Amino acid sequence: MSLLYALDLLGTAAFAASGSLAAIRREMDLFGVLMLGLVTACGGGTLRDLLLGDTPPFIFKDETYLYLSVAVALVVFFLHHHLDFIRHPLPYFDAVGLGTFVVIGTGKALEFNLGLFGSVMMGVMTATAGGMIRDLLSAQVPMVLQREVYASACLAGGTLLYLLHHYTTIPHAWALVASALLVVVMRLAAIRYNWALPRAVKQHQD
Amino acid sequence: MSLLYALDLLGTAAFAASGSLAAIRREMDLFGVLMLGLVTACGGGTLRDLLLGDTPPFIFKDETYLYLSVAVALVVFFLHHHLDFIRHPLPYFDAVGLGTFVVIGTGKALEFNLGLFGSVMMGVMTATAGGMIRDLLSAQVPMVLQREVYASACLAGGTLLYLLHHYTTIPHAWALVASALLVVVMRLAAIRYNWALPRAVKQHQD
Amino acid sequence: MSLLYALDLLGTAAFAASGSLAAIRREMDLFGVLMLGLVTACGGGTLRDLLLGDTPPFIFKDETYLYLSVAVALVVFFLHHHLDFIRHPLPYFDAVGLGTFVVIGTGKALEFNLGLFGSVMMGVMTATAGGMIRDLLSAQVPMVLQREVYASACLAGGTLLYLLHHYTTIPHAWALVASALLVVVMRLAAIRYNWALPRAVKQHQD
């Protein structure tokens, strides 16, 4: 499944870029930039492996993810004035990463025989927990809790994969591709059309 | 022990309600409300199971907790204008949840043969870590670190259970009930009489 | 290795003092002060053990760390007006703790056969994650991401230990001492000469 691995690395690089850019905006020093790139890219999968009891987590079994994240963060740190050409495609790479992370997370949960809710949660967590840790370390309310149909796309993709796996005879590889594509398409459509989830109207101010 | 299970679900529902109300106050979107309901209700027990090495955590073995939390969060999201009747009893349900979570956490630590400090810590963590994660995700200093005798009630209940278990021959079920009751009574008394822990007088301003 | 154990306890005490002082500055109550002392002193090693899958973490196998942290936090809480004599030596104890925690963390990762990146990360995490949790619970951007050559000293020490272990025949005890000393010296030099890591120049304000 080397296509999945390639997409996984692409997503890792995109997430590392978003993390290190956030650190630069918060005026962190070099270590902070490396750290935020690292946790944004690898935090979700690490948390998933912790919850599944699959320790040490994947990043310690294949250190490629760690080196790639730090390399991207270093490039962003030293060249971020010259990276304007990357700002336009970054959301697309990010969307591909999102789809890939969801199907890897939910796919791994299926191997561990989790139920529907747990399997979908593992997919969503793999894709979004890194960004949440990034925002926590920046002392901000996580973006995913406030804006856009980011998590919903992950929910839809994870659910589709669970259903295809348990209730159809579609080959696993096709189920992965279909579910990842659903995430990517929903995510890009959300950006394009500025979709947003409803918010509760506030009733009181405390 | 089906009474314990029933109280556990009641506490889960009460904690999910408090988490989703916090998310609505922070103007999060639907996903944020579901997420905060979920982590507030299930985060403490999940962290406890991670630390005990009992993976996957309980929520993935019995998904009732997950569905219940999301159902409560959905009700709060869509009906929170019409839920005034729940504001009055909520602190009582919350207190019952607190007592139940403490004895479940400390009780599980006793099965894993932890010492006094570790056992009490597991009870306190089961009862309070969900609320701490809720506050972290809202970018606020956790309430439990600042206000009221919330954690002290948990400390007292966990300690009582440990002592009853190791130094008396009281049946385990009775020890659970007595310890949970101690937490509930202390918590309600703290609300009623506005008890607070001492604070250190500040010496300098840095 | 009782010298290492003694230094470990000294570092634990120093970290507990820094955590409880931070809680007092944030006007937390007694529970908050104990809690921040505890997580600052024990959080890094606990997270390391979770990631290595070595559960329950070390603090539950030898509760000395827990009692020591709480004792220090209690002393700080009740006597912090009279502890001026400790403000001067505290950074030195803290530096010793930093060096000790790094070699304990990286040393443990070597036993678990992690690679270079993972081993160094475990050392850095053991030494810095407690302080990061302290800052998160205070709703602040972690100090380690913003200031001074704190983490770099840990990186250097962890890397030295990994290299000495894998590429030389130096006895393990000597490798531990040399690596810990490197951390301590770098840390103290950073304080003395006010070293800082570079920051990226901001390009835009979003």
Mean of pLDDT values over A198-202? 66
Closest CA to B200 of C77, C76, C75: C77
CA-only gyration radius of chain B, Å = 17
| Residue that wins the pLDDT comparison between A197 and B4 | B4
When divided into structural domains, chain A yields a total of: 1
> Residue B65: pLDDT above 90?
yes
For residue A203, what pLDDT is reported? Answer: 47
For residue B167, what pLDDT is reported? Answer: 95
For residue B120, what pLDDT is reported? Answer: 96
Kindly indicate whether the ipTM for this predicted assembly is greater than 0.85, answering yes or no: no
Chains touching C (at least 3 CB pairs under 8 A) are A, B
Contact A51 B46 (CB under 8 A): yes
CA B120 – CA B117 distance, rounded (Å): 5
Q: With an 8 Å Cβ cutoff, is C82 touching chain B?
A: no
pLDDT band at A201 (very low <50, low <70, confident <90, very high): low
Q: What are the chain C neighbours of A139 within 8 Å (beta carbons)?
A: 139-141
| B29, β-bridge pairs | A199
C199 falls within a domain: no
Q: With an 8 Å Cβ cutoff, is A87 touching chain C?
A: no
C198 falls within a domain: no
B206 falls within a domain: no
Going residue by residue through chain C, which has 206 residues, state the pLDDT in tens, using 9 for 90 and above.
588 898 899 989 999 998 998 888 888 888 889 999 999 999 999 999 999 999 899 999 999 999 999 999 999 999 887 777 777 777 888 888 899 999 999 999 999 999 999 999 999 999 999 988 888 888 777 777 766 678 889 999 999 999 999 999 999 999 999 999 999 999 888 888 877 767 766 544 44
How close is the nearest chain A Cα to the Cα of C56, in Å? Answer: 13
For residue B203, what pLDDT is reported? Answer: 47
Structural domain of A149: 2-81+89-193
Q: With an 8 Å Cβ cutoff, is B113 touching chain C?
A: no
B151 falls within a domain: yes
CA C41 – CA C12 distance, rounded (Å): 5
Residue-wise pLDDT tens digits, A97-110: 899 999 999 999 99
What three-state secondary structure class fits A199? Answer: strand
Q: What are the chain A neighbours of B26 within 8 Å (beta carbons)?
A: 141
Contact B200 C80 (CB under 8 A): yes
How close is the nearest chain C Cα to the Cα of B45, in Å? Answer: 15
| C199, β-bridge pairs | A29
How close is the nearest chain C Cα to the Cα of B165, in Å? Answer: 18
Lowest pLDDT segment from A55-59, A144-148, B101-105, B110-114: A144-148
C126 falls within a domain: yes
Q: Identify the closest residue of chain C to A67 by CA–CA distance.
A: C117
B20 falls within a domain: yes
Residue type, A161: L
> Residue B56: pLDDT above 50?
yes
Residue C80 has its nearest CB partner, among B115, B198, B203, at B203
**A66 CB contacts (<8 Å, ≥6 apart)?**
A38, A42, A59, C117, C118, C121
Start-to-end C-alpha separation, chain C: 52
For residue B1, what pLDDT is reported? Answer: 57
> Residue A147: pLDDT above 70?
no
CA B165 – CA B176 distance, rounded (Å): 9
**C145 CB contacts (<8 Å, ≥6 apart)?**
A23, A28, A29, A31, A32, A35, A36, A137, C132
Rounded to 10°, the helix B2-25/B64-79 angle is: 40
Lowest pLDDT segment from A21-35, A188-202, B40-54, B176-190: A188-202
For residue B82, what pLDDT is reported? Answer: 77
For residue A191, what pLDDT is reported? Answer: 81
For residue B127, what pLDDT is reported? Answer: 94
Residue-wise pLDDT tens digits, A152-165: 899 999 999 999 99
For residue A79, what pLDDT is reported? Answer: 87
> Residue A194: pLDDT above 80?
no
Contact A50 B46 (CB under 8 A): no
Residue of A145, A149, A205, A206 to mutate when probing chain B, most B C-beta within 10 A: A145
| Residue that wins the pLDDT comparison between B6 and C42 | C42
Interface A-B, measured as beta-carbon pairs within 8 A, has a size of 80
CA A171 – CA C190 distance, rounded (Å): 58
Q: With an 8 Å Cβ cutoff, is A84 touching chain B?
A: no
Mean of pLDDT values over B87-108? 88
CA A43 – CA A18 distance, rounded (Å): 13
B203 falls within a domain: no
DSSP B143: G
For residue B51, what pLDDT is reported? Answer: 94
CA B17 – CA A17 distance, rounded (Å): 36
Contact A59 C118 (CB under 8 A): yes
CA B78 – CA C169 distance, rounded (Å): 67
